[in-house]
Structure 1
Amino acid sequence: MADYYQLAVEKRESIGNAANKTLRRNGKIPANYYYKKQDNINLILDSKDLYHALHSGHHVFEVKMNGDIQYVMIKEIQYHPVNESVLHVDLMRVRRDVKMTISVPIHLEGEAIGVSEGGVLSQILTSLDIECLPTDVPEFIPLNVSELEMNSSLSVADITISSNVSIITDEEQVVATIAPPKEEEEPEIEIEEGEEGEEGEEAVEGEEGAEAPAEGGEEKADDRGKAEENAE
């Protein structure tokens, strides 16, 4: 028989925002209990007890209702948008002899070969949807990545799991990959069009200035020739 975390509950007589605020100030959390077509039951949880339950690694909890032991899982938790304190909890009853669908976290284990070669390990899928009896719900699903090489990946199909558990998630979904680290791109130096044009203009002006003395030299040579003819 599996062990379950015993979550203490008590019936909640007063409902409404004012009553719920009073409960929270006193370290209590308002909750609701659901089961198929039965009427919902308003409950009170102890905030410290709930904290320990959430960190126990269990997904199914044992509660005592009207003297009878029932088994529940947390369906939904409402958190405060600013301080993230728990505002409300929905509990859903489960039967130990009826299979249930639940999402369980995936834990990567081992040192990947690709990481030792300088690659970067990325976990793409963090949880797995499974179907099993409440007594067979694992705390997490392990996946060994030791043989994962550079530029390779592992999918849901590579996960080994107990025969009492069925995987619902598509087996082709990628769970983890290893890729080379991204190379830092060197910044490109852009040359403004205006700068290049100004240099070209200066060069043209320089060439024209160099030709001017040559023309003046030709005129002086002609004058000397005429003077020599007159002297003769």
Structure 2
Amino acid sequence: MQTVITATKRETGSHSILTQLRKDGKLPSVLYGFNVEETTPIYFDYKAMAREVQRNGVNHIFKIQLGDKTYNAIIGEIQRDALKGKVKHFDLHSINMKEELEVDVPVSLIGDSVGVREGGVITQPNTDLKIRVKPSDIPDSIEIDVSSLGVGDTLSLADVRDQIPFDTLNDDDYTLATVTPPTPPAEDADLEAASMTADDVEATGEKLDPNKPGRTD
């Protein structure tokens, strides 16, 4: 059963009002969108809202009670304290449950990459995908299998778009994962430098001074 979260309309115009709300354990927000006549400043009980987000995730559809009206809303922009990382404000977008909307959904990489087994390092340049979907079908995450990625391989959206059961809006070259070669240990690099000969240096166009090894030109 979906939990109804009670919101209260708040005053605006003074930074001290927001500061006091946060001291009192409240979370400032704004509500806008479907069936909302104008953007409305509101606040919640911080702990109550945090519990719902932890239980259902940020892509959850929250049922918001404001006065005598109830709204279905999703979380929009989130603002955090720069030092502590604590959420200090967020937007709530009221939605029409019958219409599709665009949302960013986390990407979850699954599978044991061939390149990683060979010592490579897998990185995830982009952690979200933008999709168009009905509110009731918003997934918690989208799984992308990286099992076949070898060292030096890159996986872009074009490679897996037809495997994703949603209308995905990012460009084809949107990078989801890449496997980079392992970094050689520092001692190996030192040994390589130590084994370099005069012939190796001349082949690169450098010259050696017999009394002072290194480049002189």
TM-score, normalised via structure 1 length: 0.71
Separation of aligned partners in 1, 2:126 and 2:81: 27
Separation of aligned partners in 1, 2:91 and 2:14: 16
Secondary structure (helix, strand or coil) at the match of 1:196 reads: coil
TM-score, normalised via structure 2 length: 0.76
- Whichever structure has more helix as a proportion of its residues is 1
Tell me if structure 1 keeps the 8 A contact 2:11–2:17. Answer: no
Query: Residue 135 and residue 4 in structure 1: after superposition, are their counterparts in 2 closer, same or farther (change >3 A)?
Result: farther
Question: Out of 184, 187, 190, which is 1:186 matched to?
Answer: 190
Relative to structure 2, which stretch is displaced further, 27-36 or 127-136?
A: 27-36
Question: Out of 155, 160, 164, which is 1:161 matched to?
Answer: 164
Query: Residue 78 and residue 173 in structure 1: after superposition, are their counterparts in 2 closer, same or farther (change >3 A)?
Result: closer
How far residue 4 of structure 1 moved from its aligned partner, in angstroms, is 5.0
Partner of residue 42, structure 2: 43
Question: Out of 186, 191, 196, which is 2:211 matched to?
Answer: 196
- Stretches of structure 1 that go unaligned for 5 or more consecutive residues are 198-232
Separation of aligned partners in 1, 2:26 and 2:135: 27
Partner of residue 20, structure 1: 18
Name the amino acid aligned to 1:8.
T
RMSD (CA atoms): 2.7
Q: How many aligned residue pairs are there?
A: 191
Secondary structure (helix, strand or coil) at the match of 1:8 reads: strand
Separation of aligned partners in 1, 2:83 and 2:175: 34
- Stretches of structure 2 that go unaligned for 5 or more consecutive residues are 195-207, 213-217
How far residue 15 of structure 1 moved from its aligned partner, in angstroms, is 5.5
How far residue 20 of structure 1 moved from its aligned partner, in angstroms, is 1.9
Separation of aligned partners in 2, 1:19 and 1:124: 39
Identical residues among aligned pairs (%) = 27
How far residue 54 of structure 1 moved from its aligned partner, in angstroms, is 3.0
Relative to structure 2, which stretch is displaced further, 3-12 or 166-175?
A: 3-12
- Structure 1 ranges of 4+ moved more than 4 A: none
**Greater C-alpha radius of gyration:** 1
Separation of aligned partners in 1, 2:114 and 2:12: 59
Partner of residue 198, structure 2: none
